[in-house]
Amino acid sequence: MLDVRNLAKRFPHPAAKGKSAQARDPRDHDGWFHAVRDVSFRCAPGEVLGLLGPNGAGKTTTLRLLSTALKADHGSAWVHGVDLLKDPLAARQQIGFLSGSTGLYGRLTARENVEYFGRLHGMSAPYLKRRCDELFELLGMHEYANKRADTLSTGMKQKCAIARTVVHEPRIVILDEPTTGLDVMSAKILLDFIAGYKALQVPLIFSTHHLHEVEKLCDRVCIINRGKTAFNGTVDELRHLGGSADLYDAFVSVIHQEI
C-alpha cells in the first residue's frame, strides 16, 4: 500500500511580488510558488492509480517528490513501513521510476543498460542475470539484447527503459507521462506492461493527459488542480461526481468545481 498524505512543496519565486493580485496564480505568495500545496491519495497492491490534472497542476512535482528527486516541505508517503520522504536511500530500493524523458546510455547495449541499473541497486551477479533473463523474455527483448541502445527503434528503447525501471523488483512503480511523444505501437507496449504488472500486486501510479488510458487501465484516480487534490476515488466515483458517463466531461466538471 502507498499512502500519501498532505504533500507540499514550494520554490522561491521573487518575481511573484511584482504581479497584480488579479493576474497572480493563487499559489504565488510571499515570494514563493507553492507548486504542491496539499496532495493526498492511496494506492493498494495490484491497483493502478491515474494522476490527472491540467498542465502545471503539480503532477510532475508530486511524482518527483515520491521518487525522492525532490525533497518535500511537508507531508508523508509510506510504502511497506518505509517513509519515502524521510528515508530516501531506503525509498529508492522500493521505487521504480520512469518518465517520458528518461534516456538510455547510447553506447551500452540494451542488456548493459539494464544490468548497470541493477548494479546501482546492489543486486548480486546471479540475481541480476536471472532477473534480466526474466524481463527480456517477458518483454521479447532477446533478439536485440546485445545491440547498442543508440541503434534501437523507439519501441525497443521503450522496452529497455521499462526493464531498467523494474529490474530491482520495486514495491511501487511510478510513471510520469510515459506515453508522451511515443508512436502508437510504442505506447501500446507500455500500456500492455501496466496492465500485466497488476498481477504482481504492486501499486502502480502514472500521470497522463490521455483519459482513454485511464479508462482502460486505472482502478483509482487522483486529480490535482493548483497543487491540491481535487478528487481521489474510483473511476466510477469520478463519473458520478462529474455528472457524466464520459470521462472527459466528468474530469472537466471536477476541475471547474475547484476553480
* Residue 155 cell numbers, joined: 519501441
Q: DSSP class of residue 14?
A: G
Q: Where are the domains of the chain?
A: 2-9+27-101+170-257
Give bridge partners of residue 228 from the DSSP assignment: 38, 225
pLDDT at site 39:
97
Residue owning grid cell 539494464 = 114
CATH superfamily of 2-9+27-101+170-257: P-loop containing nucleotide triphosphate hydrolases (3.40.50.300)
pLDDT at site 131:
96
Q: pLDDT in tens for each of the 259 residues of the chain?
A: 899 999 999 999 766 455 554 456 788 988 899 999 999 999 999 999 999 999 999 999 999 999 999 999 999 999 888 888 888 888 888 899 998 766 899 999 999 999 999 999 999 999 999 999 999 998 989 999 999 999 999 889 989 999 999 999 999 999 988 887 788 888 888 888 888 888 899 999 999 989 999 999 999 999 999 999 999 999 999 999 999 999 999 999 999 886 6
pLDDT at site 24:
66
Query: Amino acid identity of 143?
Result: E
C-alpha torsion 142→46→64→121, nearest 10: -50
Measured between alpha carbons, how far is 152 from 78 in angstroms, rounded to an integer? 37
Q: Tell me what percent of the chain is helix, strand and coil, each rounded to the nearest 5.
A: 40, 25, 30
Q: DSSP class of residue 166?
A: H
* Residue 87 cell numbers, joined: 528515508
Query: Amino acid identity of 166?
Result: V
| C-alpha Rg value of the chain to the nearest Å | 19
